[in-house]
Amino acid sequence: MENIVRKLEVKTEKPTRMVLENRKDLQITGITKVISINENNAYVLINGTKLNITGSDMSIEKLDVNEGILNLTGTINEIKYSGKNVKTSFFKRLFK
pLDDT in tens, 21-75: 999 999 999 999 999 999 999 999 998 889 999 999 999 999 998 899 999 999 9
What Å distances lie between residue 93 and 18, 38, 43, 44, CA to CA?
Answer: 32, 27, 21, 22
Q: What is the pLDDT of residues 60-75, one digit of tens each?
A: 999 998 899 999 999 9
Q: What angle do CA 51, 52, 54 make, to 5 degrees?
A: 150
Domains with residue ranges and CATH for the chain:
11-86 (2.60.40.2000)
Which stretches of the chain are DSSP H helices? 2-9, 90-94
The overall pTM is greater than 0.75 = no
Q: How confident is the model at residue 94 (pLDDT cuts 50, 70, 90)?
A: low
pLDDT for 93 beyond 90: no
